[in-house]
Amino acid sequence: MVLDNRYGAFRVPELEIPGSGHGALYGLTFTVKDVFAVAGHRSSAGNPDWLRSHEPAVSHAAAVRRLLEAGATLRGAAHTDELMYSLGGENYHYGTPVNPYGENRIPGGSSSGSAVAVASGSVDFALGTDTGGSIRVPSAYCGVFGYRPTHGAVSLEGVIPLAPAFDTVGWIAGSTELLLKTGRVLLGAVDSGGDARCEENRKKSGDLFGSADRSGDACSGEDRKKAGVLLRSANSGGDAQGGESREKEGDQLGSVDSGGDAQGGESREKAGVLNRPAGRDDIACDGENRKKSGDLLGSSDSGVGAQSMENSMEQSGGEAVDESAGDLRMSRMFILPEGWALVEQDCVDYLRRGLDKLQAGASLQAAEAVVAPEGLKTWMDAFRELQGAEIWATHGEWIGREQPVFGPDIAARFAWAAGLAGADHSPAAMLRSRITQRLRALLGKDGCLVLPTVPGPAPLRGAGPGQLERSRSSAMMLSCLAGLAGLPQVTLPVPGPGGLPLGLSVIGGHGQDLRLLSWIQEVWK
């Protein structure tokens, strides 16, 4: 039976591969972003010239094979942005999947079809890829749950690459229960051996700039100080580090070799606490908005609003976590004030309720963690430089040989990436290593960082190039954290203004994928 494609989620709706007939996912359906190898199918990567110049796959991608063996049935190949190099979801050649929450709104990308397929109820869950936000952004815009795993945790065998140092196989579902169920199949056993598995898969995928610093898994207060992490209580401004003063913790930031503002004896405001991040002149974040962000960070009200957005936003429990749940819980929660300051003014109260709900479900009170003294724009710039250089190293030869036709925004992006060839990227690579150390030292095994997935709801379709780039940049300032440090991140749907979805994200420790998924399934009620 051909899929109902009224929302335009699928490039090939007639594609169907039955599952094994038994297993953890028996009776469920899934779709794949049109970058996964499916035996006998030619993937387009969102571009007709890619489709023309490549042969059908002879075997399934590793992730597809795992899901089929677990009993799920594959239905359809879903749309993607061209060569996955966009967060918008508007494809110049194949059109734009319809966002079920607003047909005049973009679905987000590049896993646009995957998100729309789940949000519209066409399939139970979907595979996609996430390099710079391509699972998280469309999931947030379409009001569904999305997951980007630890880099290297899921095999990329049989997946068309974009930038191997940052590429991940992710998935999208309508509930935390199914997100976890899918994760158990794709990730394998509980986190034992997770780091080794990630490292092995990372080596196989290749990394133009070498491994990000993996020494940052220690999580003691002393390690956090050395990594340059400033902590303070979110609700009282009190000390989150025992008896030591925040001023001393602020001094620790001065020792971080970041090329940014030295903190030394300067005020905590300059460290970024409830302050406008560096380089944010392009996005409105006035004093009133920062005040509201301060209210958001300081909220201690555990009475969560009962606002609901369809069944995907409110669920009842699901299956119990059976892997010694106490050992899989998060014991520390942090919020990133630089990230919360990016939230659009009319979305602050909605995301505050989401944060309250998470804190109440987890019985945890979040503490502020200032980890980006350079500013999130500087982090994003480093990510885009390293990503762009890898993209050109990956696809430059094919582009030169085939001379493909790209949509205007994608063509401009590839032209920019071409200009990065041969440049010295060591400063950006060193910053990435420092960022990795800071974030991994902060989170350890049982810590999590809560931040908005995107600053606001899905932008309007058909916006000009300038607006598209501004929307992409603002989203990437939030999505670059997990990408730079190779960390797992889940995005949770939150109802926003006018019934449009927003996303609240939780980043977990390196290799702690099943811990994060199990914990979210337990606390997000």
What is the per-residue pLDDT across 313-367, written as a single tens digit (0 to 9) for each? 333 233 333 344 447 899 999 999 999 999 999 999 999 999 999 999 999 999 9
3-class SS of residue 95 = strand
Indicate the average pLDDT of the chain: 81
Percent of the chain with pLDDT over 70: 73
Burial category of 331 from C-beta neighbours within 10 Å (exposed 0-12, middle 13-18, buried 19 and up): exposed
Give the span between the Cα atoms of 126 and 514, in whole angstroms: 18
What is the per-residue pLDDT across 454-499, written as a single tens digit (0 to 9) for each? 999 999 998 877 777 888 899 999 999 999 999 999 999 999 999 9
What is the per-residue pLDDT across 147-175, written as a single tens digit (0 to 9) for each? 999 999 999 999 999 999 999 999 999 99
Decide if pLDDT at 190 tops 90.
no
Supply the DSSP symbol for 463. -
Cα distances (Å, whole numbers) of residue 416 to 24, 133, 340, 474: 45, 19, 30, 19
3-class SS of residue 232 = strand
pLDDT at 146 (0 to 100): 98
What is the per-residue pLDDT across 355-407, written as a single tens digit (0 to 9) for each? 999 999 999 999 999 899 999 999 999 999 999 999 999 999 999 999 999 99
Amino acid letter for position 236: S
Nearest partner of 283 among 366, 335, 347, 234, judged by Cα: 347
Beta bridge partners of 159: 36
